[in-house]
Chain A
């Protein structure tokens, strides 16, 4: 064969090889969305940086198109497990079998907390359905048990204690009911039961080495709100807070401390109220008296939506008393807006997540979130930020399960979570380390719009506001 022809053939061969090789990833990228969060049939190496990220369609898995979860993990008996059905090592930990991963969580579907936490269950259910539809994780499907504790600490404590002592439960994902979670915190740490993806309502969640919140902490939100109002010119600050539930007390303390650290700013009045009361006449009078003559330029409402609705309904000066009415994430809630209506027009609320509103709706991860949730509950209020947070928390948990792979243990979960980074369209980048639990320290500000009805939330285009205390 003539030399030029041979060279031409070689060139063609290499070109073909390049084309053929690059054609494969093209197919994989297109197929990635068809593989759900827990693709178990394929095994691949971790990306170089070891960080799972959502792909263009908001799904999990490494960027090279393969799912996370290293192959051939060595089990306690020295056997090498594989991330595949029948080869995953079977019962590697309490609550783990060859075919299932058993989980439990407490939710709030009644009582005052249900007004903002009530829909969180759909976030968990959506992720579970999605994972199981994709074949589970390393051949194990997820089994999730949810129990309503009415946002009561004692009731929630008892449920969680039962789960902790249940040898058939591996971990407690999200746990939307923060009061019971606080009550059971010590037992969770002692038993070493992972709680991944919690809502960050209470500071304890950031101090327990077995809890990894995804949310911006209430204390961070309070400082962000105070700084935002201060930057807009406010110097007189007020707060109405929930004095029964822990999130209110902690948030108020953080708010107070931060306001005092701001030059020229002062906390004019802090009114602690008992939630769930039929009316707040005397408390409203006290606020009106203390904040007379517009001295409370910025007023924060740190209440559950139901309690806030009753307060606003009885507070004729709610709209006019303060230049800036501010609300923490529990009030970023469609139902609250619908009940508050024009009195809440202009009120600023913050969220540590990316709400599925305005331009965010075109983000692939946001679209996936909305569609996943609607597939299990078509009526779900996807703008509820605790629902979105629950979906995100459960997604993080699933990503960690995938990262740990077949040899699934609580210790491995903890080890992985303590060096875990996660990126998605649902929030800013999240990062956990052994000495860093505040993975999310930012929030976005939105304005409630209402005329004679609640019109919706308007993006203030502030971008991410950082917790000034970092």
Chain B
């Protein structure tokens, strides 16, 4: 299966989530290929830091900021992997569009903030366009960097706002704003590997993974 973590809006935590998902799947014994479709190459950098520090499992990671190359390479090599996670976007790009064409599942992280909710509109339009050239793209909106606490009004309102966009299914597995996600990602690790363990973060990531995979 091919999964894309994408959003036309930047700063929503795409790369952090993509790196966490890829490593979590590898820890579960899957053959994973992480593709960095962002020109900034942050996911690639995180994985190279992981490799330098000798953490296992190793994650196969490639960087294809150009959509045409991304599409060609994934088509050629997709059969060699069980799970392909593509990190794409931050803006409308050929890489994001190629990922939308290739993916079975699109995961759209968004923060419970007005600007993020507004940006869902752009993403919804792009999904519509992608669906006009292909069939079977599932799109999930996932709250990322959500506020802490189950009673957060902003989380609730942001989740409800997704209902305005029929292009998305809301996935009720919010990832909250926790330093452990950022700290782990900076070392090329998933929160599942971080010591000391952040149990809440681990629980959130596992909940999301159980719903997705």
State whether these chains interact: no
A: residues with CB less than 8 A from B are none
B: residues with CB less than 8 A from A are none
